[in-house]
Amino acid sequence: MTRAFILSVSLFALATSAVAQPAATPARPTTPSEVVAAAPASAWRAIPADDLLIIELKNGGRVVVQLAPAFAPVHVANIKALARGRWWDGAAVYRVQDNYVAQWGNNESERPLPEGVVAKPPAEYTRPLKGLAVRPLGYPDPYAPAAGYALGWPVAYSPKGGWANLAHCYGSVGVGRDLSPDTGTGGELYAAIGHGPRHLDRNIALVGRVIEGIDRLSSLPRGTGDLGFYKERSQDVPIVQARLASQLGAAERPSFQYLDTRSASFAEYLRLRANRKDAFYIRPAGGVDLCNAPVPVRRAP
């Protein structure tokens, strides 16, 4: 019996790997991945080194988070101060809940916050819609009046209410908090590792997304305590260090780009994600949900 493929390539895998485009392909791209591979250099936007948080796990894994200062400026400033203050050096991943989140930080520690960290940031759950120039998804969203993309991020928004929020999708990074909405500093972070937990939208501060190494979190053993917490500290996955790319020397500094969500390439990518028809796909859906058309990200070529 020959290998029974599912031929469709995961978009997330695609989005996080550079794809070489053959020199001469006169035919119009027919798959989302072909569109991304064919996108001109002008359609890509560099991610500032100061917006990249690089987390080195003791097990050899590396997780790169792109921060979103346009959506949660106080929390993101905190995270940068925490990285500069070496807050996560010696911290750990202490919670992995299946189909939900992996969470890390200095849990149950009395470690003092580094200088410059705002202990009680405001609840940055939405921001003004004004200034975002959203590209609409074009399909209904059950969680908000509308959904789309802005500044390279998936967003939900209300034209009438004048607000927008980052959406909880696979790989989204947010700020753990207690019951009171202002108790999260950014010191305890989580990444979504299952179906996009959109019910958390507007209830918790999202600060970015994992753009490389999400599999190093999603493949960790699940915690057997309540809510997926590891029961024993020996199960924790230690963090060697977390640094902003801007803190690293030029030689070690990784460089990433995202596909401009206002570009024609992104529009075509989105169209094909919603209407897949190729050698494998027989019946295009004629629609797609926000989290199933993630913004392509790649290492700078």
Say whether residue 298 binds a copy of itself (CB under 8 A).
no
Nearer to a copy of itself among residue 25 and residue 99 (C-beta):
99
**31 touching a copy of itself, by CB under 8 A:** no
Q: Is 287 in the site for a copy of itself (CB under 8 A)?
A: yes
In this chain, which of 122, 285, 300, 301 binds a copy of itself, going by CB under 8 A?
285
Comparing CB distances to a copy of itself, the nearer of 287 and 301 is 287
- How is residue 229 annotated by DSSP? B
Written as six digits, the tokens of 6 are: 């599912």
C-beta closer to a copy of itself: residue 152 or 223: 223
- According to CB under 8 A, which one of 34, 56, 201, 212 is a site residue for a copy of itself? 201
What are the backbone angles phi and psi of residue 252, rounded to the nearest 5°?
-95, -5
**Paired tokens of 27:** 């035919």
Which of 289, 133, 152 lies closest to 208, judged by CA?
152
Applying CB under 8 A, among 220, 237, 242, 244 the residue interacting with a copy of itself is 220
d(CA 252, CA 255): 10
* Percent helix, strand and coil across the chain, each to the nearest 5: 20, 25, 55
C-beta closer to a copy of itself: residue 152 or 228: 228
Taking the least distance from each CB to a copy of itself, the nearer of 221 and 249 is: 221
> Which range in 36-44, 166-174, 249-257, 259-267 contacts a copy of itself by CB under 8 A?
166-174
- Span near a copy of itself by CB under 8 A; candidates 71-79, 234-242, 247-255, 276-284: 276-284
Signed CA dihedral, 56, 166, 84, 91: sign only: negative
Lookup: tokens for 126: 């939405």
| Residues 95 and 101: beta-carbon distance below 8 Å | yes
Residues between 59 and 88 with contacts to a copy of itself, criterion CB under 8 A: none
E strands, the chain, are 44-46, 52-57, 62-67, 92-97, 101-105, 127-128, 135-136, 146-150, 153-158, 163-166, 172-175, 189-192, 206-212, 237-244, 256-259, 297-299
Closest approach, Cβ 242 to a copy of itself, in A, equals 16
When asked if residue 198 is in the footprint of a copy of itself (CB under 8 A), the reply is yes
Which among 60-68, 167-175, 237-245, 254-262 is the span making contact with a copy of itself, rule CB under 8 A? 167-175
Count other Cβ atoms within 10 Å, centred on residue 165.
25
Backbone angle region of 45, left / alpha / beta, with phi > 0 → left and psi within -120 to 50 → alpha: beta
Sketch the per residue contact string, 130 through 159, with a copy of itself: x for CB under 8 A, - otherwise: ---------xxxxxx---------------
Binding to a copy of itself by CB under 8 A, coded x per residue (else -) over 236-265, reads ------------------------------
- The stretch among 128-136, 184-192, 236-244, 249-257 that binds a copy of itself (CB under 8 A) is 184-192
Query: Min. distance of Cβ 157 from a copy of itself in angstroms?
Result: 13
